[in-house]
Amino acid sequence: MAVAPERRLARFVVGFPQAELPAEARRTLRHIVRAVAGTALAGVAEDGIAPLRALLLERGGAPQAPLLVFGDRLPAAAAAQFNATLCRALDYCDAMAPGPHIGAALVPAALAAAELAGGCSGAEFEAALAVGAEVASRFNLGESQYDGFDPTGICVVFGAAAAVARILRLDETQTLHALALAFNRCGGSFQSHVDGSLGVRITQGWVAQSAIDCAQLARLGITGPQHFLAGHYGYAHLYGRGTLDVAALAADLGRAWQLGRVVFKKYPSCGVTQGVTELALRLAARHGLQAADVAHAEVRLPPYAHRLVGHAFRIGANPRVDAQFSAAYCVANAWLRGSSQLAHFAPEQVADAALRPLIDRIRVVADPALDARGHTAVDLDVTTSDGRRLHDGLDIAPGFPGAGLSDAEHRARFHACVAHAAGVAPAAGLPVPGAEQVAGLEAALDGLAALDDVRDLASALSAAPAGGRSTSTRRAY
């Protein structure tokens, strides 16, 4: 009798041997954890972080897991929610076309689960991240299937729940039901991004929170729809829109890895602005182009990308989000400031009056012909004040598969986050990360699989004194 795809997934989650993880997959996972650690440090003063922390502390509860960087201890689901929101606050974490952010929910959920489990070796933590990232990658859909759903809220919840189930040592049936319950938590809309709302990062937190909740409920025997993938009203129908290949989704698990599609952004803005930012800087370098030289520019994006970042730029309640999800802002910023850095998306930088005249000379249009060239294809045409006509285009943006970042670039991303954290930590009531703390954190990141207890990673990220774990947490699972 054929094994149902849902059970094949559960079997993979609980049974995949960590020793069989390919070297390239290990490398990707190390980069994911490094990216998440850096964004946690750098995101502490972002909009929504302090109010969310205050709300969760007011609610209180069992001190099961720490808030990253801040060090407070809260119930595991609350800690996962806060930490995932924090890690997504700068939108500089890992991603995947056409939009899910996996690591910013996966890593916080897995760290919270490690606290619930009373500890977890680095090797087992790596295995949990591997199966979780792979499950999320398998559930990732295409542009037409999402059609405006936020991919993070749709597919990442399965991966985060898988990682938590693995760390809490759920059996195969319990894991199946954890994934089935996670199916009922799918949600989120790209309208959050288009409107420049904090819903972008809050959705990330809900995904991690749901992963803890679903695994804990399944451990207690609470069931979900066991045909959550291939059933009549399952994932393939509701989100795959009848075009999802269920057999392929659950095929070759542990042998053919999809997590290699993970993206690491070169620039701290939306994934579909990476290519146009690269082009803007490339044109400037090749032609000595200055912002004042630009008489008119036209950015052409595929329709999916245009709907996300092609709208007219305006500053609303959350300027960083407004700028990150505006192709026109990203191009103008690159030309005016000669780079694209975390500080350039701070509210005072976004509101810089010098940008507006340049933004107004940039037209962003949708070009369906670019679909044939790929998700990140973009063309940029510039007419200069002295009559020159400049053109450049690319199909694969930096950081995407086929144009991946080097190990040195990954470290540079991390250190850019550390440097940003030094400037914003006092505003969040935190000490500036010291050289010793950063060195300890890098050592933990470099030796992740060799850690005796991955809770040491959370301690290295925390402003609280080392050894501040709750003594009430026991290895109960």
Instruction: Give the tens place of pLDDT for each residue, 57-69.
Output: 999 999 999 999 9
Q: What is the mean pLDDT of the chain?
A: 95
Helices 103-116 and 23-42 cross at an angle (nearest 10°) of 90
Average pLDDT of span 350-361: 97
Sequence ranges of the domains in the chain? 5-264+405-461, 271-394
**d(Cα 373, Cα 32) in Å, to the nearest integer?**
27
**Which token pair is 334?**
């690159």
Q: Identify the CA nearest to 69 among candidates 113, 102, 47, 38.
A: 38
For 413-468, what is each residue's pLDDT tens digit? 999 999 999 999 999 999 999 999 899 999 999 999 999 999 999 999 885 433 34
Please give the pLDDT value at position 463: 59
- Burial of 341 from C-beta contacts in 10 A (0-12 / 13-18 / 19+): middle
pLDDT exceeds cutoff 90 at 475: no
DSSP 8-state class, residue 379: E
CATH number of 5-264+405-461: 1.10.4100.10
Amino acid letter, 408: A
Q: Which residue has the higher pLDDT, 220 or 470?
A: 220
Give per-residue pLDDT as tens, 140-177. 999 999 999 999 999 999 999 999 999 999 999 999 99
Mean pLDDT of all residues in 305-311: 97
Residue 476 has pLDDT above 60, yes or no: no
Contact 411/427 with Cβ under 8 angstroms? no
Nearest-5° Cα angle at 127, 126 to 130: 85
Percent of the chain past pLDDT 70, that is, above it, reads 97
Q: What element of type H or E holds 383?
A: strand 378-384
pLDDT band for 1, please (50, 70, 90 cuts): confident
What pLDDT, in 10s, does the model give residues 9-57? 999 999 999 999 999 999 999 999 999 999 999 999 999 999 999 999 9
Classify each residue of 126-162 as buried b or exposed e, where b means 16 or more C-beta atoms within 10 Å of its C-beta. bbbbbbbbbbbbbbbbbbebbeebbbbbbbbbbbbbb
Q: Which residue from 249, 218, 212 is spatially nearest to 234, judged by alpha carbons?
A: 249
- Asked if residue 330 lies in contact with residue 339, where contact means CB atoms within 8 angstroms, the answer is no
The mean per-residue pLDDT over the stretch 224-237 comes to 98
Residues facing residue 73 across a β-bridge: 66
Residues near 408 by beta carbon (within 8 Å), at least 6 away in sequence: none
pLDDT digits (tens, 9 = 90+) for 170-200: 999 999 999 999 999 999 999 999 999 999 9
Residue 228 has pLDDT above 80, yes or no: yes
- For 288-302, 371-385, 458-472, which range has the lowest pLDDT when averaged over its residues? 458-472
For domain 271-394, give the CATH number. 3.30.1330.120
